[in-house]
């Protein structure tokens, strides 16, 4: 069920009313939200509700077994068993076909011909599996670390399936959502920040339906689907346009999810913080898909050793984290290469700083010109890496890179002023000071009820008028 649809509007309206009618009835509320979330998930394919249920049971039982184990060895054993079970479900449905076919191709290259058994290669990927699996893992690991207490089964089930975040995040941790679920009966509809929720939802709709859809159809899809037909200027513009598309698509989903959660009385963590203003890839990952970045940091990078130890260990930890982070996005070598690019560039940055320190040279001057140069370089690296992320295959990705290098001077009919203006304008908006939005919201709050309705109605009319007749699924639905 897509957010920008009539189906979801009706669904959410019913859930919204039911949510606030049964606030004092804690158990009834949990059952209501759990059923609503499973209906929401089943809208795409009802068969996968059993997979979500299996993941939830594994999360709950794993947490209980880890918590009740009498010895540290037993706790570690149950933790490992739960992690294996969760990753086993994820690996079977998401990666079995990729591994099977990759292994078969490697053997064929060596002259060994066998019969692959890609049982899951043609199966549809369960939507949201990467997100709710990581949520389940974080819950059990936090219980193991004694930073989170175990929760009742219904609370865990609602935590893992809560429909606003179910399909594409944000990856909400147990420490962030479970206490809110436990206090659900204390929510007061009179304390809702309706203005903030409206701004999040309508802003997310505009980013997804208008901006993301426009740049996708105008430049990204034509270039990425047929690399050999396009010149270097078109490929370059498509790379920056895809940066805008995926940001508006994914942050748009997140904004709608956060806004819907607010209307139900819950707070989700922010997932984006003007990522294209970053001055380095390290900063980019502190601003982009922040709930995934912090998950990888806390549950993978730091346990590997983080920045402790030798430089070779640091580089190893960065590369493992980035490559596995790339693979998390999908079972394809394009994602592996994308993650590796981010890892290599980050390692190069660390090596560069170390060489300057060892040679006794001063740190680079922090001037306005230097800062803007760093931002431009970071944006360019991120945008060029997106060529691999969105390419249909590794061959297409390298074809895009080749065209970018060799086809300057050829016609570029897709490089049109409206597309360039939308791309540049969308990137420029990331530099708008935060307090400006606060001022706009404050002015909106001062309006009367009728005026607010007129403003929201006009915004919805603009979105539906400028948007396409049908809205494509969100990009991160396939992860």
pTM: 0.91
**Residue 190 above 80 pLDDT?**
yes
Domain boundaries, the chain: 6-189, 195-431
pLDDT the model gives residue 114:
59
**What mean pLDDT value characterizes the chain?**
90
**Residue 294 above 50 pLDDT?**
yes
Please, where are the H alpha helices in 43-128? 49-68, 72-94, 96-109
Report the C-alpha gap between 168 and 308 in whole angstroms: 33
Annotated catalytic residue 350: no
Q: At what angle do helices 49-68 and 26-42 cross, to 10 degrees?
A: 130
Q: What percent of the chain has pLDDT over 70?
A: 96
What is the pLDDT confidence band of residue 196, given thresholds at 50, 70 and 90? confident
What is the pLDDT confidence band of residue 104, given thresholds at 50, 70 and 90? confident
**Residue 444 above 60 pLDDT?**
yes
**Residue 120 above 50 pLDDT?**
no
Residue 436 burial by Cβ neighbours in a 10 Å radius (0-12, 13-18, 19+): exposed
Report the C-alpha gap between 377 and 281 in whole angstroms: 10
CA nearest neighbour of 129 among 246, 15, 32, 50: 50
Catalytic hit among 165, 230, 329, 342: 329
What is the pLDDT confidence band of residue 479, given thresholds at 50, 70 and 90? low
What is the pLDDT confidence band of residue 477, given thresholds at 50, 70 and 90? low
What is the pLDDT confidence band of residue 122, given thresholds at 50, 70 and 90? very low
What is the pLDDT confidence band of residue 148, given thresholds at 50, 70 and 90? very high
Instruction: Supply 227's token pair.
Output: 């690399």
What kind and span of H or E run contains 14?
Answer: helix 6-21
pLDDT the model gives residue 124:
64
């Amino acid at each position: 069920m897509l957010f920008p649809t009539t189906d979801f509007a009706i669904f959410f309206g019913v859930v919204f009313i039911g949510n606030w009618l049964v606030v004092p009835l804690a158990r009834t509320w949990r059952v209501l939200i759990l059923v609503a979330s499973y209906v929401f998930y089943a809208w795409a394919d009802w068969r996968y509700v059993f997979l979500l249920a299996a993941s939830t049971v594994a999360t709950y039982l794993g947490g209980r077994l880890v918590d009740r184990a009498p010895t540290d060895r037993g706790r570690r054993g149950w933790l490992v068993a739960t992690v294996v079970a969760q990753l086993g479900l994820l690996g079977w449905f998401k990666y079995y076909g990729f591994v099977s076919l990759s292994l078969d191709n490697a053997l064929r290259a060596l002259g060994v011909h066998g019969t692959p058994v890609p049982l899951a290669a043609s199966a549809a990927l369960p939507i949201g599996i990467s997100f709710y699996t990581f949520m389940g893992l974080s819950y059990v690991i936090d219980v193991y670390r004694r930073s989170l207490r175990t929760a009742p089964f219904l609370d865990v089930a609602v935590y893992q399936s809560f429909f606003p975040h179910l399909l594409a995040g944000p990856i909400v941790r147990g420490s962030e959502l479970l206490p809110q679920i436990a206090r659900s009966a204390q929510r007061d509809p009179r304390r809702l920040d309706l203005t903030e929720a409206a701004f999040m939802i309508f802003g997310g709709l505009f980013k997804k339906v208008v901006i993301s859809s426009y740049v996708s159809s105008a430049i990204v899809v034509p270039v990425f689907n047929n690399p050999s037909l396009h010149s270097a200027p078109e490929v370059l513009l498509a790379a920056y346009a895809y940066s805008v598309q995926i940001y508006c698509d994914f942050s748009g989903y997140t904004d709608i999810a956060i806004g819907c959660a607010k209307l139900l009385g819950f707070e989700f963590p922010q997932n984006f913080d003007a990522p294209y203003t970053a001055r380095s890839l390290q900063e980019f990952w502190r601003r982009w898909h922040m709930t995934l970045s912090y998950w990888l940091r806390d549950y993978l990078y730091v346990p590997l050793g983080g920045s402790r130890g030798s430089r070779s260990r640091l580089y190893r930890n960065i590369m493992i984290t980035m490559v596995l982070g790339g693979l998390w996005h999908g079972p394809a070598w394009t994602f592996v290469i994308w993650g590796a690019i981010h890892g290599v560039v980050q390692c190069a940055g660390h090596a560069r700083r170390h060489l300057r320190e060892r040679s006794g040279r001063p740190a680079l001057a922090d001037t306005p010109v230097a800062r803007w140069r760093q931002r431009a370089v970071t944006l360019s690296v991120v945008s060029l890496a997106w060529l691999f992320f969105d390419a249909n295959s590794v061959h297409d990705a390298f074809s895009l890179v080749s065209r970018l290098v060799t086809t300057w001077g050829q016609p570029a009919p897709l490089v049109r002023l409206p597309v360039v203006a939308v791309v540049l304008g969308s990137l420029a908006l990331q530099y708008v000071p935060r307090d400006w939005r606060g001022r706009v919201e404050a002015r909106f709050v001062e309006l009367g009820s009728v005026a607010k309705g007129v403003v929201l109605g006009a915004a919805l009319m603009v979105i539906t008028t400028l948007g396409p007749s049908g809205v494509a699924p969100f990009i991160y639905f396939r992860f």
